[in-house]
């Protein structure tokens, strides 16, 4: 079982709520079998070398066991207060599923960075300086430059915001689960490597609403998945700007909810999940003039501004917002600033506003997608119980000045009963590979797992960034003689092994499910 540092008992003001649900499976992709294809999609015509015998030459060091690096522990927590003491995260999945519950920390960040390049240090934005290292998932939205020349460059090369997030998070054991880009909207989902086998049915969607649906500078991108058997959707929206477009913002939000549909028999609509809705929603502060707003900000009289916030007012009249929750806005409006400063707009004289928001909603008892499509403001009522969502903080980050927006972040705890706690594939390796002869891995598959001849097992350096960031791999082909065997074995050749020593993790990649479905501890 991967060791985890214990979390500090300190929790800032929380909000509680409730829910539950099932999972789904991605359709298989088809690959031509005329030639050998590498997991990253490139053809490989090289002949398979025969398996060498004996250790590597002089100076070779064995692969050593080690844990993924973590930030320092703030202070220990007694076992009865530490939810992770009761979590079944061993690769064998030995939990008593009736008595167990999952508690995941989800860190969501939204930031409209415009055309800015990443700042030198995003440590505080990611919360990597808090000292507990127990965040399970990061969901990061960047509103980036959507100009055509910039997007073409990003197609040819990984965009710099994705790179800086991967570079900063991968040393702490976070792996990119999925990403979705629609012009300026970039959504990144990261998770601890040992959660990967329990994140299933990952799908992404995008909806254009700019220029009547023809242009993707406005709209929504989403990523949905089953997390330990419970369906969750992360929806990032960039809604129309300007004070007078509040109704258009609601129209576009409804349109996004109606258009985004996922494959599968259950949880096909966004609102059929536990939903986290966030982004540059562009709602403004009505009625009050510039000086009144700035005076209220200077004197920390935020409640006076909440009453005139368009999104808060819409919650009383828009049934599509029924069930959406938001923590109190105890931070100054995050738009609009002079770039490079903490001074509100002195150019176009735009009134400050909380344009950048993070909300959440639990699943409706009836399929919510049907209710949304039923009428202009289809009523959605009745929320299930079972899951508990707790918001630990909701804040802005004034220290970042590269954009006219300030980033906003929030950390949530999702607590729900276990539904899925056994990986589809269980991998077993020796603690150390001292010689080439040791380079074997055994694996068992769950009875309900559908294998493909194009599945593969990757060898990853501790701190790998995504599923293609392997140092070597072998095909996990299924032969006819394998059908009745419970345990299987693969062997890495010397050519498939890294040249130096180090700490590694092995992962089984399912071609049908397009995800890693089994991992080892570091070895």
The pLDDT score that the predictor gives to residue 115 is: 83
Q: Residue 240, class by beta-carbon neighbours within 10 Å (0-12 exposed, 13-18 middle, 19+ buried)? A: middle
Q: Regarding predicted confidence, which is higher, 130 or 149?
A: 130
Q: Is the pLDDT of residue 125 over 60?
A: yes
The pLDDT score that the predictor gives to residue 218 is: 84
Counting residues of the chain whose pLDDT is more than 90, the rounded percentage is 52
| C-alpha neighbours within 13 Å on the C-beta side of residue 487 | 6
Please give the domain boundaries of the chain with CATH numbers for all domains.
101-148+157-365+382-415 (3.60.10.10), 425-519 (2.60.40.2840)
Q: Is the pLDDT of residue 86 over 70?
A: no
If DSSP states are collapsed to H, E and C, what string results for 55-84? Answer: CCCCCCCCCCCCCCCCCCCCCCCCHHHCHH
Q: Is the pLDDT of residue 399 over 70?
A: yes
Q: Are 139 and 107 in contact (CB under 8 A)?
A: yes
CA distances, 375 to each of 366, 379, 424 (Å): 16, 8, 41
* Range 375-383 average pLDDT: 38
Q: Quick one: which of 280, 275, 242 has its CA closest to 114?
A: 280
Q: Are 112 and 405 in contact (CB under 8 A)?
A: yes
The pLDDT score that the predictor gives to residue 120 is: 87
pLDDT band at 133 (very low <50, low <70, confident <90, very high): low
Q: Which two tokens stand for residue 47?
A: 């002949």
> d(Cα 484, Cα 84) in Å, to the nearest integer?
37
> d(Cα 237, Cα 239) in Å, to the nearest integer?
6
Q: Among 232-246, 285-299, 358-372, 433-447, where is mean pLDDT lowest?
A: 358-372
pLDDT band at 17 (very low <50, low <70, confident <90, very high): very low
pLDDT band at 380 (very low <50, low <70, confident <90, very high): very low
The pLDDT score that the predictor gives to residue 6 is: 35
Evaluate the omega torsion of the peptide bond into residue 336 and state whether it is cis, within 30 degrees of 0. yes
Q: Among 30-39, 474-483, 496-505, where is mean pLDDT lowest?
A: 30-39
The pLDDT score that the predictor gives to residue 483 is: 63
Angle value at C-alpha 322, between 320 and 327, nearest 5 degrees: 120
Q: Regarding predicted confidence, which is higher, 463 or 386?
A: 463
pLDDT band at 291 (very low <50, low <70, confident <90, very high): very high
The pLDDT score that the predictor gives to residue 130 is: 65
What is the chain's mean pLDDT, rounded? 77
Q: Is the pLDDT of residue 79 over 50?
A: no
* Range 188-206 average pLDDT: 94
The pLDDT score that the predictor gives to residue 363 is: 80
The pLDDT score that the predictor gives to residue 406 is: 97
The pLDDT score that the predictor gives to residue 179 is: 93
Q: Is the pLDDT of residue 436 over 50?
A: yes
Counting residues of the chain whose pLDDT is more than 70, the rounded percentage is 70
Highest mean pLDDT pick, 18-32, 203-217, 409-423: 409-423
Q: Is the pLDDT of residue 195 over 60?
A: yes
Q: Are 260 and 220 in contact (CB under 8 A)?
A: yes
- 18-68 residue pLDDT tens: 333 333 334 333 333 334 445 655 544 333 333 332 222 323 333 333 333
Q: Regarding predicted confidence, which is higher, 113 or 27?
A: 113
Q: Regarding predicted confidence, which is higher, 319 or 43?
A: 319
Q: Regarding predicted confidence, which is higher, 3 or 390?
A: 390
The pLDDT score that the predictor gives to residue 128 is: 86
| pTM, 2 dp | 0.79
């Amino acid at each position: 079982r991967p060791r985890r540092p214990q979390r500090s008992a300190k929790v800032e003001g929380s909000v509680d709520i409730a829910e539950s649900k099932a999972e789904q499976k991605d359709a298989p992709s088809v690959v031509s079998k005329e030639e050998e294809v590498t997991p990253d999609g490139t053809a490989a015509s090289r002949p398979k070398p025969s398996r060498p015998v004996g250790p590597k030459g002089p100076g070779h060091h064995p692969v050593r066991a080690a844990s993924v690096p973590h930030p320092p522990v703030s202070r220990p927590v007694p076992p009865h207060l530490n939810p992770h003491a009761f979590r079944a995260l061993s690769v064998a999945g030995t939990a008593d599923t009736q008595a167990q519950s999952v508690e995941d920390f989800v860190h969501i960040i939204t930031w409209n960075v415009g055309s800015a390049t990443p700042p030198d240090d995003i440590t505080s934005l990611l919360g990597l300086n808090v000292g507990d290292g127990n965040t399970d998932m990061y969901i990061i939205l960047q509103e980036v430059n959507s100009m055509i020349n910039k997007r073409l460059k990003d197609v040819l090369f990984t965009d710099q915001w994705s790179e800086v997030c991967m570079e900063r998070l991968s040393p702490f054991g976070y792996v990119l689960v999925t990403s979705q880009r629609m012009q300026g909207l970039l959504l990144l989902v990261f998770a601890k490597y040992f959660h990967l086998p329990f994140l299933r049915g990952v799908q992404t969607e995008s909806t254009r609403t700019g220029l009547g649906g023809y242009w993707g500078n406005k709209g929504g991108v989403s990523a949905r998945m089953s997390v330990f058997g419970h369906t969750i959707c992360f929806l990032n929206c960039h809604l129309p700007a300007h004070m007078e477009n509040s109704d258009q913002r609601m129209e576009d939000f409804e349109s996004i909810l109606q258009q985004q549909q996922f494959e599968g028999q259950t949880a096909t609509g966004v609102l059929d999940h536990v939903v986290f809705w966030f982004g540059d929603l562009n709602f403004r502060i009505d009625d009050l003039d510039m000086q009144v707003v700035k005076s209220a900000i200077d004197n920390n009289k935020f409640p006076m501004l909440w009453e005139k916030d368009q999104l808060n007012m819409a919650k009383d009249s828009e049934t599509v917002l029924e069930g959406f929750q938001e923590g109190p806005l105890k931070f100054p409006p995050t738009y609009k600033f002079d770039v490079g400063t903490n001074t509100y707009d002195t150019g176009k004289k735009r009134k400050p506003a909380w344009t950048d928001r993070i909300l959440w909603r639990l699943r409706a008892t009836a399929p919510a997608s049907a209710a949304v499509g039923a009428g202009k403001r289809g009523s959605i009522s009745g929320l299930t119980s079972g899951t508990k969502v707790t918001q630990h903080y909701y804040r802005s980050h004034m220290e970042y000045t590269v954009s006219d927006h300030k980033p906003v972040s929030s950390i949530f705890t999702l607590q729900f009963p276990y539904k899925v706690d056994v990986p589809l594939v269980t991998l077993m390796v020796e603690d150390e590979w001292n010689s080439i002869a040791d380079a074997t891995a055994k694996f068992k598959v769950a009875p309900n797992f559908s294998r493909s001849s194009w599945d593969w097992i990757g060898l990853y350096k501790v701190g790998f960034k995504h599923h293609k960031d392997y140092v070597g791999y072998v095909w996990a082909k299924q032969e006819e003689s394998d059908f009745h065997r419970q345990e299987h074995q693969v062997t890495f050749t010397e050519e498939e092994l890294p040249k130096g020593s180090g700490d590694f993790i092995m992962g089984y990649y399912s071609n049908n499910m397009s995800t890693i479905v089994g991992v080892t501890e570091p070895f």
